[in-house]
Structure 1
Amino acid sequence: MRVGLISDTHGLLRPEALALLRGSAHLIHAGDIVDPAILDRLAELAPLTAVRGNNDHGPWADRLPETARVTLGGVTIYVIHDLQQLDLDPPAAGIDVVVSGHSHKPACLRKEGVLYVNPGSAGRRRFSLPISVGELLLEAGRAEARLIVLDA
């Protein structure tokens, strides 16, 4: 199963990001969406899990959770915008993957058996950081991640 990861769009949904996310069985947006139309566009591609980021404001954003927990392909995924606000112990909570955003820095590491993935920012360029998305590949209850830099 392929799960598309996107974060920090900040009101800009790039065609290159949409193309890479197309074909995913599920999508995760890790916050700082800014424009709710982005969620509508993503939901046209696949079922969507999204959390509120620190730049998401208004009635539409108030309906988004600050964190989400979803199990796909036997893998439990915890989504939060800012990893610094993580208030649980993922291994003790039975979490296999933590997906976050906020820093705009794509990152992937495994710690204490938990895979931590930040797909980076798919929106406007910040400093010299790349424009990127990610994907989780779930098979037999295991998760692997891939970060993809966009030609933007």
Structure 2
Amino acid sequence: MNSASAKRIDIISDTHGYLSPALLDELEGADLIIHAGDLTSEMDYEHLCTIAPVRAVLGNNDYYRDYGPDVDRLALFTYEGLKFAVAHYREDLPVGSVDVAINGHTHVTKEAQVGRCLVLNPGSASYPRGTRGPTMARMLVKDGKILSTKFIDLE
């Protein structure tokens, strides 16, 4: 399948008030940014919205933040023919009813196929846990298909 007209989705989580220069460089050119919670900065949310459309959810550290009515605990939407669910906690995702389920919270990358659903955690773009440094994920999609997914190291 020709990936020339594919849409690029950049997936981040757990930035906790810090958007690194390396992260901002990687996000340039994204068609959609998904943030899986713990932004902890209204200014960072506004900055991300200047780069590309953003679909974000509230994390456990976002309880007193106000990102507007479009940011809630669960985001369900269709993009390029694929059904997405985004939540900060893995257990809040309706894995059986979507094509792509994205969560954050653990600060550790994970990708798993559960039935027909791709479950993805991009790790933390700012404060990683474990031996791997800061990360994000990138997905190319077209016509209801995931063409590729990969994790990007931000150091």
Whole-angstrom distance in 1 between the partners of 2:55 and 2:79: 11
Please name the residue that 1:79 is paired with: 86
Alignment: residue pair count: 147
Whole-angstrom distance in 2 between the partners of 1:140 and 1:59: 35
1:53-81 alpha-carbon deviations (Å, 9 max, x no partner) = 00113251584300001211111111000
Please name the residue that 1:139 is paired with: 142
Q: Determine whether 1:106 maps to 2:112.
A: no
Preserved CA contact (<8 Å) 1:108 1:145:
no
Q: Determine whether 1:148 maps to 2:155.
A: no
Please name the residue that 2:42 is paired with: 36
Please name the residue that 2:76 is paired with: 69
Please name the residue that 1:2 is paired with: 8
Whole-angstrom distance in 1 between the partners of 2:120 and 2:30: 17
TM superposition shift of 1:129: 4.0
Preserved CA contact (<8 Å) 2:108 2:128:
no
TM superposition shift of 1:120: 0.4
Q: 1:145 to 1:34 in 2, by over 3 A?
A: same
TM superposition shift of 1:107: 1.2
Q: Determine whether 1:51 maps to 2:57.
A: yes
CA-atom RMSD in angstroms: 1.6
1:126-152 alpha-carbon deviations (Å, 9 max, x no partner) = 45342001111102211132111111x
Identity %: 33
Aligned AA (1:98): A
Aligned AA (1:42): L
Aligned AA (2:135): S
TM-score (norm 2): 0.88
Whole-angstrom distance in 2 between the partners of 1:124 and 1:97: 24
Whole-angstrom distance in 1 between the partners of 2:91 and 2:114: 15
Preserved CA contact (<8 Å) 2:40 2:65:
no
Query: Where in structure 1 are there 5+ consecutive unaligned residues?
Result: none
Aligned AA (2:29): G
